[in-house]
Amino acid sequence: MNPRKLLVFFNLLIIYTPVYVSSQNVNLEFPFFSLRNLSLLGDSYLRNGVVGLTRELEVPSSSSGSVIFNYPISFFDRSTNVTASFSTRFSFSIDNINPSSFGDGLTFFLSPNNQTLGSPGGYLGLVNSSQLTKNRFIAVEFDTKLDLHFNDPDENHVGLDIDSLISIKTANPMSKAIDLKSGNLVTAWIDYLSDKKKLEVFLSYSSFKPDDPILSVEIDLSDYLKDVMFVGFSASTEGSTELHYIENWSFQTTGFHPIRPRIHPHNVSDSTIPLRPPIAVSDSGNRNHKRIGLGLGIGFPTFFCAVLVIFGYVSVKKWRGIKTEKSLKAELMTGPREFNYKELKLATRGFHHNRILGHGAFGTVYKAFFMDTGSVSAVKRSKHSHEGKTEFLAELSIIACLRHKNLVQLQGWCVEKGELLLVYEFMPNGSLDNVLYNDSQSGEALKWSYRYNIAVGLASALTYLHQECEQQVIHRDIKASNIMLDGSYNARLGDFGLARLMDHGKSPVSTLTAGTMGYLAPEYLQYGKATEKTDVFSYGVVILELACGRRPIEREGESQKMVNLVDWVWKLHSEGKIVDAGDERMNGEFEEAEMKKLLLVGLSCANPDSAERPSMRRVLQILNNEAQPVIVPKMKPSLTFSNSLPLSINELVFDSEDDCCGSPESQIEIRVD
């Protein structure tokens, strides 16, 4: 190793030793969490790279928990009398198994105490109920309960707290159409500008920072930031089933000047460097001395450098080994685990038919009860075929790396006794397909607020897959039966067996056409090239299903004529009666403006011309009132191809003429060479 590089390496070891008490700018990045640099206190826990702050129980309970970065951070430089600015960005969700059982909320805090854990309830896990003045902190609270004891204005507010839970100033996020308790993933930005003495809080359902803050407070925090501080999150409940999750986090301080090495110049005054006359020596002796000096001058540094290189090589190799081992342990800790076949067989009662939750193109899904932990999961048992194995490997390799609130979370896998098994978190409300059609026939139709929330959640998941992952993920099989609903009817996209990874900006390649008839984009049927725009088309069809309560292709009336949902809605749009497409089973109990918006978004996504379809990020912004809707032409655009379709639409549809179109099984799975 080059001695200069080795010197740089040792300097890096010193600089990046994790002790942040010196006045240096700090930059922390946690795209997902592990236990390497964090402390979990109280009821908090880590699962699949996501921090849960309170107990995850189906019955109301009282709970508090916090997660704290292990190392203190300096916000004040005594030598320059400078207080640092700081900014943080994190994504959180506040969910609830029982929407009526809300409270109490979560906080982001700075505290000189690295053991900050307070009482449950309105104390938000920040302060002890019997020692209200014990804990010191600066916190931004995201409060979901009206607590008059702390002068709360309402049950959905953001506030700045300093050493007290009575906020200095509060704001209601509903002014930006954000409900803290929606269960959707919310991204928060908190910026403190030391020079302007201002703290601002921004919130959005998307990953784009809004222009205007939810909360802006003129305040000088320099008096509160004299000591080193620990940063973290806390949350609490009291008699509630509210759940609090933190999914990613970044934190930076700015304002400190880089530390420069101090140069101590040699003192060269005449009084300290005595002058001596030269001593005469013979020429031959001088030459010998020169040779010896030259030999020592070259040999000793060479020997020293060689020892240094060997030491550096051994140190670097050992350091890399330790780093690799820690990395592997972190991956194993946050990734899906391997189940053994025996426990899955026991949990599903030997894959008994009474435990079947549903059937897919490549396998059957079973409900699994794990007696030792009391938990419930869904186990997907793939078919014993080449396609089944391909789908299993694709699903395991892709979804294991994905983490988003609106994706079904993979918990583990098993390859044993010739079986291919995937274990997912259990979704209490089943699939959207089942809730929209089967449940509504025997009971109350799905409420409009849930429908709109599902549309937003699915758009958020697809924005993540298309534009926020390291590699773009094309799902290829977006349909109502692949959208699962959790206990609060939040959308969770699942079944990644047909998904494909693609580098951003790379042209798609032709593949086998795969998917479900009625959801497939026309250009995908023609050319077999799956892109993000083919996913957008499928999303548009699902959105129209949500709004209309109709399947993509249905037999209509006595004529039993096959009717395409997109065509049916577009016809009403051309007649100026698009709102009439709303599901009649809701009996008009919906927001007309939201219904019109959802129907127009669905049509814009299902545009036959892929170039006219919006991106999923634009769709998400439209649904969140952050962008203007796309203009949808009154007449459905026509699209022609240079070659004929491999099969006509009628041939594909009437291939299952004997099936009942009302059943999910009649939506044909096609694979065209």
pLDDT digit string, tens, across residues 31-85: 888 887 888 898 899 888 899 999 888 788 889 999 999 889 999 888 888 999 9
Kind of pairing between the strands at 472-474 and 500-502: antiparallel
CA 343 from chain centre, in angstroms, equals: 30
Give the C-alpha separation, 105 to 234, whole Å: 9
Domain at 54, CATH number: 2.60.120.200
Q: Are residues 348 and 449 in the same domain?
A: no
pLDDT digits (tens, 9 = 90+) for 347-364: 998 998 888 888 765 678
Cβ contacts of 626-632, under 8 Å, gap ≥ 24: 626/204, 626/206, 626/208, 626/210, 629/597, 629/600, 629/601, 629/604, 630/600, 630/601, 630/604, 632/573, 632/600, 632/603, 632/604, 632/607
In a domain, 275, yes or no: no
Judge if 356 and 482 occupy the same domain.
no
User: Residues 145, 148, 153, 155: what is their CA dihedral angle, to the nearest 10 degrees?
Assistant: 10
Among the options 104, 477, 486, 495, which is catalytic?
477
Annotated binding-site members = 380
For residue 374, the tally of other CB atoms under 10 A from its CB is 7
Q: What is the distance between the alpha carbons of residues 403 and 228, in angstroms, rounded to a whole number?
A: 33
What pTM value is reported for the model? 0.49
Token couple for 605: 């996504």
Tell me the C-alpha to C-alpha distance, in Å, between residue 525 and each of 512, 613, 640, 644.
Answer: 10, 17, 13, 10
Q: What is the pLDDT of residues 517-574, one digit of tens each?
A: 789 888 888 877 888 999 999 999 999 999 999 999 988 766 678 889 999 999 999 9
Is the domain of 148 the same as that of 169? yes
Both 90 and 62 in a single domain?
Answer: yes
In total, how many domains does the chain have?
3
Question: Do 73 and 222 belong together in one domain?
Answer: yes
**Residue 56 and residue 50: Cα distance in Å, rounded?**
13
Chain mean position to CA 266: 56
Active site residue 372: no
One domain for residues 463 and 388: no
- Within-domain flag for 270: no
Mean pLDDT of 366-395: 76
Asked if residue 358 and residue 235 are part of one domain, the reply reads no
CA pair distance 106, 113, nearest whole angstrom? 18
Strands (E) across 70-137 are located at 76-77, 82-83, 85-96, 105-111
H-only helix segments in 497-557 = 522-527, 532-548
Q: Are 66 and 107 in contact (CB under 8 A)?
A: no
Contact 82, 254 (CB under 8 A): no
Own/partner long-range contacts of 42-50 (Cβ < 8 Å, ≥24 apart): 42/66, 42/117, 42/125, 46/333, 46/334, 48/334, 48/335, 48/336, 48/403, 48/409, 48/411, 49/247, 49/334, 49/403, 50/245, 50/246, 50/247, 50/403
Look at residue 7 and tell me if it is in a domain: no
Residue 249 in 3-state DSSP? strand
In-domain check, residue 276: no
Binding residue ranges for ATP: 380
Residue that terminates a domain, selected from 399, 425, 451: 425
Burial 425-447 (b: 16+ CB within 10 A, else e): bbbebbbbbbbbbeebeeeebbe
The pLDDT of residue 545:
95
Query: Same structural domain for residues 353 and 208?
Result: no
Which pLDDT score is estimated for 612? Answer: 93
Q: What percent of the chain has pLDDT over 90?
A: 38
Residue entry with tokens 């959208």 = 483
Q: Looking at the domain assignment, is residue 611 inside a domain?
A: yes
Helix axes 592-605, 616-623, angle to 10 degrees: 170
In angstroms, rounded to a whole number, what is the distance separating the alpha carbons of residues 535 and 477?
8
Structure tokens at 430: 């089943």
Mean pLDDT calculated for residue range 455-474: 90
Q: Are residues 489 and 348 in the same domain?
A: no
Q: What is the CATH classification number for the domain harbouring 533?
A: 1.10.510.10
> With b meaning 16 or more CB within 10 Å and e meaning fewer, what string describes 317-326?
eeeeeeeeee
Joined tokens for residue 366: 């079973």
Q: Cα–Cα distance between 256 and 287 in angstroms, integer?
A: 55
The CATH number covering residue 419 comes to: 3.30.200.20
- State the chain's maximal CA–CA distance in angstroms: 125
Domain holding 396, by residue range, is 337-425
Query: Cβ neighbours of residue 226 under 8 Å, at least 6 residues apart?
Result: 76
Q: Provide the phi-psi class of 430: left if phi over 0, else alpha when psi is between -120 and 50, else beta.
A: left
Residue 386, pLDDT score? 55
**Band of residue 672 on the pLDDT scale cut at 50, 70, 90:** very low
Q: Compare 50 and 505 and report the one with higher pLDDT.
A: 50
86 & 213 share domain: yes
* More confident position, 604 or 292: 604
Note the pLDDT of residue 292: 53
Give the residue carrying structure tokens 């236990």. 35
Residue 569 belongs to a domain: yes
Could you tell me if 496 and 542 lie in one domain? Answer: yes
Q: Which of 425, 446, 481 is the last residue of a domain?
A: 425
* pLDDT reading at 512 higher than 80: no
| pLDDT of 113 higher than 60 | yes
pLDDT for the residue 452: 95
- Considering the domain architecture, whether residues 620 and 505 belong to the same structural domain is answered as yes
Length of the chain: 673
Domain-terminating residue out of 225, 254, 283: 254
- Alpha-carbon Rg for the chain, nearest whole angstrom, is 31
